[in-house]
Amino acid sequence: MATRKIKYINIDADKCSGCRLCESICSASHADPPYSLVNPGRSRIRVFRDEDNDVYIPVLAGPYTDVECLGRNTVMVKGKEYGECSFCRASCPSRDLFREPETDIPLKCDTCESINSEPLCVKWCLSKCLTFEEVEEEVEEETPAAA
Amino acid sequence: MPIGDTIEIDLSRGIIEKREGDLALVRDYVASKGTGTRILWDRVPPEVDAFAPESTFIMSAGVLTGTLVPGANRLCIVYKSPATNIHCYSSVGGFLGTALKRTGYDTVIVSGKSDTPVYLYINDDRVELRDARHLWGHDTRQTESLIRKELGDQAEVLSIGLAGENKVLFATAEHGAGDCAGRGGFGALMGDKNLKAIAIHGTKDIPVADTERLFDICNYILSRTHGARKGILDPAGYTFVRTFLRWADFRNFGGIVQSPEFQEEIKNSGPLTQAFIERTREREVACANCSLRCKHAYRNTDGTYVYHKCAGFYYAMFTSQILKPEFSLACKTLFERYGLDIYSTGDSVAFAIDLYEKGILTREDTDGLHLEWQNPDVYLALVHKIARREGIGDVLANGTYRAARQIGKGAERYAFTAKKLELHMNKIYHRYHMALSSAVCDRGDMTKLDSGTAGQMPRRPLSEREAYIKDGWFHYPDSYKKYFLEEGADAYGNSSIEAQASYNSYDMEQYTLADLSGICMFWLEFWMWPTINSRAMMADLMTAVTGLEIDEAEATRIASRVISLVRAYSVREGLRRQDDFDSVPKHTFEREPRPPERKLEPDTLDQLLDKFYEIRGWDRQGIPTAANLEELDLGFVREDMERRGILEGKS
């Protein structure tokens, strides 16, 4: 069996302070030239927040989809109901989240691989809400398809 | 350098005008409090009452706000205060400043009065006044959530509650998780303009001139946050409790001594409060780009959350003499929803109970309410009355300075104010540092001039002071080391007159630079461990972001310009040396503090003021001299003041 490294950004939402520094550093580090701007709209991580209910949840940009979900459900947190979109990671036509402003190009977290760095949102998260972990996972070896 | 645009809104006529930013204004005044005051100088002269339709407020984010600079998130609102009638500014944290920067606007100028309630919505280039009749009468939390329902979750909202609508002179405008434009009655000004809220949503980039330089400094700053965190939290809330309890010997925060029994009760309540905080604090919450996390979330009995920080926790407890943290949370929730300043409201309620006890107020004045200490029902009833301006609340809502004069019968003796603003906590005014800070602070609230270094360090042992400098926490120029190391403090804990005036003057420049750049004062010398520990670093940050070459000397010059302009504004409104002197409560000169400290002599305060004015280039009355104004390129101020006879003209 072969192994490969899987990168995890783990989120302990109870520790999130809602400062959104992760959004700033993400958008800055992925800018061209690097750090030339800050714009959470370009960030691949967004913090969902509801101050009245003390809910702060960082959401990392996930897969792109070109269609909206058909079914919808709701999520109950601390006795308050939220739409599932609130915590959804997808770059999706139903909302602006995780798409570049102006160009509309979908955004997805690359754990900072594209900028050759450890994940900067983790590094700059001083509340230790975000942590980074690399795990060796076994993968099945690919067998050449029968001719 | 890319400069944001300016929007001008005339609420009377419903006109919104946009124009390009003014580079000259940015060069001379940078942003925020600086540009705001420059605009206020022209728009709101003494002839314009704070509540006149022409009265204008200017909202502007700091020049570093929204960039990667840690703690740079402040937005400054500059206005003539209806409470103090002089220059006033409120610095709002949270996400309002970053949102404004992202709309592409640097400055928002609002004047006029709307006929019907409206709220302002700035959404990138789209700026509109929207109907707010359905929001009128709602509390600040409801207003924020209703507006977000209309505009989307991303909108940042600053709103007033009932207190602002009713023009309570210490009404606030509230924003997000416990942030507000607190002191000086900005809420009343919004209420008077029929402006229920300001909502902002921006999606644009915030550009930076020199990226590498900025990134390096930011990393350095972040590596030094521990000190400030220590000031806020370590060991979990204890310093906090101990410090504030020491101030609680007096009620009314002006100097009426609490009874010995109550003092004893206070001492015992410390551990209880601490245990409560540790047990019930659910989260540490921060403003944009800040890792200090000074706001703490507590759950109310009704399931909602309230955010409490710092001295605010104790204000309701001490002014009511109810030493229950639960009561403090209930009060904070109520204050926030009504949009009431926690300090002024607490003071006003305590003032009323005091007057009742002295027989100056009677049951007839209070609609049959028997006022007494340690009664939560009475306390809350008074808060409701103030916010709604009902009965005695209508008088108290004018602040203790005015209320005392309305009530008469010697009530003035029990009102403790600095420049008509209720005093902030019972700071220990007999100390030179506190006395001078309170006297010269530009808006009557000395918090914006407090310094952990000048206030607490000089009295420490020499070895500690040496280590302090070695560890890089000493933010004053090298020439101040002689005060700090050689002089230290006298047996009573005071620095020399010259040292104290120098510290204060330098700190005033630092705080001004913090306001201009949008950095929260918690990152500066407010705590004993200033993370941003030099003026050079501040200048570097500004240069890296703006691309303008601002060195240490230029930063000092800009700060001095803004300080003299702010002072001149208030002087033009009638502020003089006596007002500074009276900002230290009279009892400070009359009562012996606990040994080994000693009371302040009036003569000492005079000397402190003389020295401070001299350093700033002001005359004995605290008026910026013609030479000082010319030197700082404030010729237009000199001319105006000469025309008004405040300065003697050139013959």
Task: Classify residue A106 as exposed, middle or buried by CB count within 10 Å of its CB (0-12, 13-18, 19+).
Answer: middle
Q: Which domains does chain B have, with CATH numbers?
A: 5-201 (3.60.9.10), 235-422 (1.10.569.10), 432-643 (1.10.599.10)
Identify whether A84 is part of a domain: yes
Identify the helix (H) or strand (E) that includes residue B499: helix B497-517
DSSP B397-453: TTHHHHHHHHH-TTGGGG--EETTEEP-TT--TTSHHHHHHHHH-TTS-GGGG--HH
Any A CB within 8 A of B158 CB: no
Any A CB within 8 A of B360 CB: no
Chain A nearest C-alpha distance from B544 (Å): 11
- Average pLDDT on B189-195 reads 98
Tokens of A107: 């955004």
Among chain A residues, CA nearest to B70? A21
Which tens digit of pLDDT belongs to each residue from B440-476? 999 888 888 888 899 889 999 999 999 999 999 999 9
Residues in chain B within 8 Å Cβ distance of A57: none
Q: Is the dihedral of CA B441, B445, B451, B456 positive or negative?
A: positive
Among chain A residues, CA nearest to B65? A38
Task: Give me the pLDDT at residue B255, please.
Answer: 54
Mean pLDDT of the residues in chain B = 90
Which tens digit of pLDDT belongs to each residue from B562-582? 999 999 999 999 999 999 999
Core vs surface per residue B41-62: b (16+ CB within 10 A) or e: bebbeeeeebeebebbbbbbbb
HSE at residue B305, side-chain half, CA atoms within 13 A, is 25
Domain extent, residue A43, equals: 2-139
Q: How many distinct structural domains can be found in chain A? A: 1
Identify whether A22 is part of a domain: yes
Among chain A residues, CA nearest to B297? A54
Task: Give the three-state DSSP class for B359.
Answer: coil
Identify whether A24 is part of a domain: yes
Identify whether A93 is part of a domain: yes
Which tens digit of pLDDT belongs to each residue from B44-69? 999 999 999 999 999 999 999 999 99
Task: Name the residue facing A126 among B67, B176, B291 (closest C-beta).
Answer: B291
Identify whether A145 is part of a domain: no
The C-alpha atoms of residue B155 and residue B121 are separated, in whole angstroms, by 9
Tokens of B584: 């230290």
φ and ψ of B457, to 5 deg: -70, -40
Task: Give me the pLDDT at residue A142, please.
Answer: 66
pLDDT greater at residue B451 or residue B129:
B129
Could you tell me which of A138, A144, A142, A147 has the C-alpha nearest to residue A4? A138
Identify whether A147 is part of a domain: no
* ipTM for this prediction: 0.90
- The answer to whether A16 and A58 are in contact (CB under 8 A) is yes
Identify whether A109 is part of a domain: yes
Which tens digit of pLDDT belongs to each residue from B233-292? 654 444 555 555 555 555 555 556 667 777 777 777 777 777 888 788 899 899 999 888
Identify whether A146 is part of a domain: no
- Average pLDDT on B527-550 reads 90
Residues in chain A within 8 Å Cβ distance of B207: 36-37
Best interface-test mutation with B: which of A30, A38, A53 has the largest number of B CBs within 10 A?
A38
pLDDT surpassing 70 at residue B341: yes
